[in-house]
Structures are given as C-alpha cells and as structure tokens.
Amino acid sequence: MTAAPVQPGDAAAARAGSYPKGVARRQEILTRAIEVFAAKGLEGTSLRAIAEAIGVSHAALLHYFPSREELLIEVLKANETRFNATDAERDPTEIVGIMTNAAHRNVGIPGMVSLYSSMLAGSIEEGKEYSREYFSGRFERLRAKLVSRIQIGQAAGTVRTDLDPEALAALVIAASDGLQVQWLLDPKVDIAGSLELLDVILAPAQEKK
C-alpha cells in the first residue's frame, strides 16, 4: 500500500482498480448500480443487465468487482453508508424510532429492500462467504449500536432495567426487517404502527390507571 490507494483496510476496493482512475470509475459504476437497483429492484439483474443499464460490457463490471455477489454486497454497503451519517445526529436515547426511521427510508426504495432480502437469504448458503461476513458484521454492529442506546436509557430511567439489552436489540432489528417484507407483500401492514408497540416493552412500570 504505497502511492495513492484507497483506505488501507478496504480489501474489496483494493482488489481491483486501486489507483485514482480505477477508484473513480469503480465509484461511478457503484453509484449507477445503486440507481438501477433502486429503480428496478433485483428483477432480472444479471451481470449483463446491470452492465447494459450502465453502458458497459458485463466483463467490464467484473474488472472492478470480482464477482456478481461482491458487486451486489458493495451496493448494499454503499447504500448503508449513505444513511449512517443521518442516524448519528439523532437523539441518542431513541431506540425504536431509529429503526422506524430506517424502515421508512427503505420502503421508499423497494428495490433496495428486495436486494437486501435476497442477499440476506442467500448469505446462509455455502459458498457465499462474502455475503455471510457482511451480514454477520452488519447485525453485530447494529445490535451493538442498539444495546448502547438501550443501556443509556436504562441508566437514565427511561427503559426498564429488567430486560436483556442484547435480546431486545435483536428483537427490534428482526421486527424491522420482517415488517418491511410483509409490507412489500401487503401495504396494509403498518410498519410504524407495529414497531411502536415495542415502545411498550421499553417503558418502565407505568403509573397507568
């Protein structure tokens, strides 16, 4: 890692096109790919179809990304990063709200939910180690983020202290993921309405009549 590569730790980016020109082109392809997925979803997204929509050959795509799998995961990563900045600005005691917000952002671009779900389902299978690593890491990261917020809430007295933060974090994430898919299949499913029920779990013993 010498002259002008990208971030030292970014193995995927370094694998091909590690120098200025290549990096720029890679970014451009990624950006265009996100647009394509957002608009059309995963429907018939062969390497050839993606390449055509972008205006290159499918072999050119494979010059920048070692496989279809890695290209698609990079699209998810880029889309995730794009929104993470927003979350940091939010009230650090929010727990369900942060997921509701994310869920609504996602269903606004159904293609991304479709891509996310498909890659997640695929990541369980053998031979999809790259996907598996991404999703393992993503869930780990997301749970840690929520656990931290839950603990802040517990210390502040706004969240019941008799609940396991890890179990709660996993639950909130699972509910958010699951509701997005149900909503895509049937828009009468009320994502926010269902997620808000989780606030009932969080609230300390209430002085309810």
Q: Letter for the amino acid at 94?
A: E
Q: Letter for the amino acid at 152?
A: I
206 binds, among its own copies, DNA, none (CB under 5 to 8 A by kind): its own copies
Q: Which two tokens stand for residue 28?
A: 């451009």
Q: Are 5 and 14 in contact (CB under 8 A)?
A: yes
Q: Does 121 bind its own copies (CB under 8 A)?
A: yes
Q: How many Cβ atoms sit within 10 Å of the Cβ of residue 139?
A: 16
Q: Which two tokens stand for residue 138?
A: 């993503």
Taking the least distance from each CB to DNA, the nearer of 106 and 131 is 131
Q: Does 72 bind its own copies (CB under 8 A)?
A: no
Taking the least distance from each CB to its own copies, the nearer of 60 and 170 is 170
Least separation in angstroms between CB 25 and DNA: 5
* Residues contributing to the site for DNA (CB under 7 A): 3, 16-17, 19, 21-22, 25, 44-49, 56-60, 62-64, 66-69
Q: Does 127 bind its own copies (CB under 8 A)?
A: yes
Q: Which two tokens stand for residue 156?
A: 């502040």
Least separation in angstroms between CB 88 and DNA: 33
Cα 52 versus chain centre, distance? 26
Least separation in angstroms between CB 101 and its own copies: 17
Which of 66, 92, 178, 187 forms a contact with its own copies (CB under 8 A)?
178
Stretch that binds its own copies, among 9-17, 57-65, 88-96, 195-203 (CB under 8 A): 195-203
Tell the burial category of 11 from Cβ atoms under 10 Å away from its Cβ (0-12, 13-18, 19+): exposed
Report how far residue 5's alpha carbon sits from residue 174's, in angstroms, rounded to the nearest whole number: 37
Going by C-alpha positions, the residue among 185, 195, 209 that lies closest to residue 99 is: 195
Going by C-alpha positions, the residue among 97, 120, 114 that lies closest to residue 199 is: 97
Going by C-alpha positions, the residue among 46, 71, 171 that lies closest to residue 131 is: 71
Least separation in angstroms between CB 202 and its own copies: 9
Positions in the binding site for its own copies (CB under 8 A):
41-44, 110, 113-114, 117-118, 120-127, 132, 135-136, 139-140, 160, 163-164, 166-168, 170-171, 173-179, 181-182, 184-186, 189-190, 193-195, 197-198, 200-201, 205-206, 208-209
